A and B are shown apart, each in its own frame.
Chain A
Amino acid sequence: MKSRKSPSPPSHKGRRSVCAALLASGLIVTSGCRRSVDVVAADKASIASSPDGMPSRGSDLTTADMHGETADTRTVTIVMPHDEPTFPDGPGQRQFLTSCVVCHSPRYISMQPHFPRQVWASEVHKMVAAYGAHVTPEEEAEIVTYIMTIRGAGTADPSNHAVPGGAGQP
């Protein structure tokens, strides 16, 4: 397990201390000096917001720090947690799952405020025009309809009158 120290107060540390840190963590070796290294592993990952707990990375961590290997051959690996929310049934849900969630988490929708239809139409169209999502105009409309049930706003809410067609705010 890789352990992390608390950050030290700011100072201009030179090469020696950082090299020492890299040496200590096994990421570099001094010339001609081959040494075994610690297992690099991240902490167990869990997602606190998940109601039933997340699978931790735990023992499936991989490392090349096997017998006879050195820092020069180190492999660092993390395992990403899976924590995608389930979105409710409704018209357009299947299209939404097929066309949007293939590339990104549905949290890209659920983190947003409630926007009026024109904003969502613009955002969905950006996925087609800028990123080449394989979506027909009819499917685009279905997706917008579905997103409106999740994060749609009525047009009487002036706080959400953002401008569609933003300059590629990723």
Chain B
Amino acid sequence: MNNQRRRFLIRTLGAGAGLGASAVLASVWRHPLLGRLGYETAGELPDVPPPLGMARFPEKAELILLTDRPPQLETPLHYFKQDLTPSSAFFVRWHVSGLPTTVDLQTFRLNIAGHVKTPLSLSFHELATRFPAVSTVAVNQCSGNSRSYYSPRAPGGQWKHGAMGNARWTGARLRDLLDAAGVRAGAIQVAVHGLDRPPLTSIPVFEKSLAIDHARDGEVMVAYAMNDEPLPMLNGFPIRLIVPGWYGTYWVKALSNVIVSNEPYVGYWMDTAYRIPTAPDAQETPTDLAKQTEPINRFSVRSVFVRPEPEEMIPVGRAYVVEGVAIDDGAGISRVEISFDDAKSWADADLDPVIDKYSWRRFRLAWTPSTPGGYRLACRATNAAGRTETIHQWNRGGFARNEIEKVAVTAVA
């Protein structure tokens, strides 16, 4: 019996315990294709690759492989024990298969056009030398980070917690670029897209929009360096947009076009994709889907264990330092609590010093399990604006997760 099939049966049996296992099995056997394909027994469903493997892509360390074309690569959790995520280990997520694999800096230009006085066409050299350089440490997190933990499951990239990372970004303020072009009165938003192109003309080009005031807030940046080095191609070489405190869908890679407009933005990747319920915590339920949705925007407050990892064995009677990272949208993480009894009682974790406004903040707490057995740990962050995490969160897209994360470990004598 292959592993997936075994897992499927185990899960099916477990889920159906109240119904009687035989009824559940019967539903499996009723699958209309099984007979026709000749798969008469439990062990012989078609063999396909396991959901996740490991892979090395150009300029990248070995990462968790979700998809290869276009590439979606996840950072293994252990990298988050460092304050900064190495560029080589930083997660990768492209939307369409026509991503740039070669960039000629002689011809590459960032074009700033639309509702401006003087359209600009800036070379990499000009970007790096003509405008004041600014530097910030900021978390980038995919909108669907941790989607595989949703219950019920949501279709989409099946990330664990590794579709995020914390890096130092250096570049030019988008405001300075817009000022150089001279935004005309009446501008309300800027559209941004990069060099990537879809494989069919019917697929909308990946393009996002920011309100003009957001684009000009002095924090949104066109970055030409990541951790003080050129960006890896798969992370957006030569330049990418940095939108601190906002989900990664806005951090357009291989940024090539900034289009200022005095008209409301219309486009698939804002109007249809990447929508979340307007309700608090982007909540909805499968039986009561939200009628009102909005484009995903600022990070939810959340915290994730980096140590222990799931199913880890921990020695009884010895201090074990639990640690993790907490994220918010820039107000600042002010508290992280940890529970060792499945979110019944809580203790304050120690917070590491603040790294930067939009960086994650690390937390730690020594824990000495007194008796052997299973424990469910939980972590809950709160930020300076009073926002915190919730015991259960769900939406159909699997977006903006801020459910209190739990990890099951075993204490052993």
Asked if B57 and A49 make an inter-chain contact with CB atoms under 8 angstroms apart, the answer reads no
Give the distance in Å from the alpha carbon of A78 to the alpha carbon of B24 in the complex: 49
Closest-CB distance, A142 to chain B (whole angstroms): 12
Asked if B155 and A45 make an inter-chain contact with CB atoms under 8 angstroms apart, the answer reads no
Chain A residues near B269 (CB-CB < 8 A): 170
Q: Considering the complex, which residues of chain B in the window 14-51 have a beta carbon less than 8 Å from any beta carbon of chain A? A: 15-16, 19, 23-24, 27-28, 30-31, 33, 36-37, 45-51
Q: Which stretch (B209-217, B221-229, B337-345, B367-375) binds chain A?
A: B221-229
- Is the CB of A19 closer than 8 A to any CB of chain B? yes
Asked if B24 and A21 make an inter-chain contact with CB atoms under 8 angstroms apart, the answer reads no
Given A78-B234, A148-B33, answer yes or no on A167-B56 (Cβ-Cβ < 8 Å).
no
Asked if A103 and B97 make an inter-chain contact with CB atoms under 8 angstroms apart, the answer reads yes
Interchain CB contact (< 8 A) of A91 among B33, B88, B151: B33
Asked if A107 and B101 make an inter-chain contact with CB atoms under 8 angstroms apart, the answer reads no
Interface 0/1 of A130-167, CB less than 8 Å to B: 11110000000000010011101111111111110111
Chain B residues near A67 (CB-CB < 8 A): none
Interchain CB contact (< 8 A) of A107 among B65, B144, B152, B275: B65
Interchain CB contact (< 8 A) of A46 among B28, B56, B128: B56
- Is the CB of A27 closer than 8 A to any CB of chain B? yes
Asked if B82 and A88 make an inter-chain contact with CB atoms under 8 angstroms apart, the answer reads no
Interface 0/1 of B79-122, CB less than 8 Å to A: 00011111110000001010001111110000000000000000
Asked if B124 and A27 make an inter-chain contact with CB atoms under 8 angstroms apart, the answer reads yes
Q: Considering the complex, which residues of chain A in the window 2-34 have a beta carbon less than 8 Å from any beta carbon of chain B? A: 2, 4-10, 12-15, 17-19, 21-22, 25, 27-29, 31
Closest-CB distance, B251 to chain A (whole angstroms): 15
Give the distance in Å from the alpha carbon of A82 to the alpha carbon of B97 in the complex: 12
Asked if B102 and A111 make an inter-chain contact with CB atoms under 8 angstroms apart, the answer reads no
Given A7-B227, A157-B12, answer yes or no on A123-B200 (Cβ-Cβ < 8 Å).
no
Asked if A112 and B51 make an inter-chain contact with CB atoms under 8 angstroms apart, the answer reads yes
Chain B residues near A167 (CB-CB < 8 A): 272-276, 293, 395-397
Give the distance in Å from the alpha carbon of A132 to the alpha carbon of B268 in the complex: 13
Chain B residues near A169 (CB-CB < 8 A): 144, 147, 154-156, 273, 396-399
Chain A residues near B156 (CB-CB < 8 A): 166, 169-170
- Chain A residue with minimal CB distance to B203? A131
Chain A residues near B170 (CB-CB < 8 A): 13, 15, 18
Interchain CB contact (< 8 A) of B125 among A29, A107, A113, A163: A29
Asked if B102 and A75 make an inter-chain contact with CB atoms under 8 angstroms apart, the answer reads yes
Given A154-B27, A168-B397, answer yes or no on A42-B55 (Cβ-Cβ < 8 Å).
no
- Is the CB of B355 closer than 8 A to any CB of chain A? yes
- Chain A residue with minimal CB distance to B86? A7
Chain B residues near A168 (CB-CB < 8 A): 268, 272-275, 397
Asked if A81 and B55 make an inter-chain contact with CB atoms under 8 angstroms apart, the answer reads yes
Given A4-B88, A25-B229, answer yes or no on A18-B135 (Cβ-Cβ < 8 Å).
yes
With contacts defined as CB atoms under 8 Å apart, how many contacts are there between chain A and chain B in the complex?
314
Closest-CB distance, A82 to chain B (whole angstroms): 8
Interchain CB contact (< 8 A) of B54 among A48, A57, A115: A48
- Chain B residue with minimal CB distance to A90? B37
Closest-CB distance, B130 to chain A (whole angstroms): 11
Closest-CB distance, B224 to chain A (whole angstroms): 7
Sample 7 A-B pairs with CB under 8 A, ordered by A number.
A47-B65, A110-B51, A156-B24, A157-B24, A157-B27, A163-B286, A170-B269
Which residue numbers of B lie inside 8 Å of A, CB to CB? 8, 11-12, 15-16, 19, 23-24, 27-28, 30-31, 33, 36-37, 45-60, 62, 65-71, 82-88, 95, 97, 101-106, 124-125, 128-129, 132-133, 135, 137, 144, 147-148, 151-158, 168, 170, 198-204, 224-225, 227-230, 232-234, 237-238, 268-269, 272-276, 286, 289, 293, 355-356, 359, 395-399
Which 10 A-B pairs have CB atoms at the shortest separation, nearest pair first?
Answer: A132-B202, A49-B53, A168-B273, A15-B133, A78-B58, A42-B58, A88-B46, A169-B156, A42-B59, A169-B397
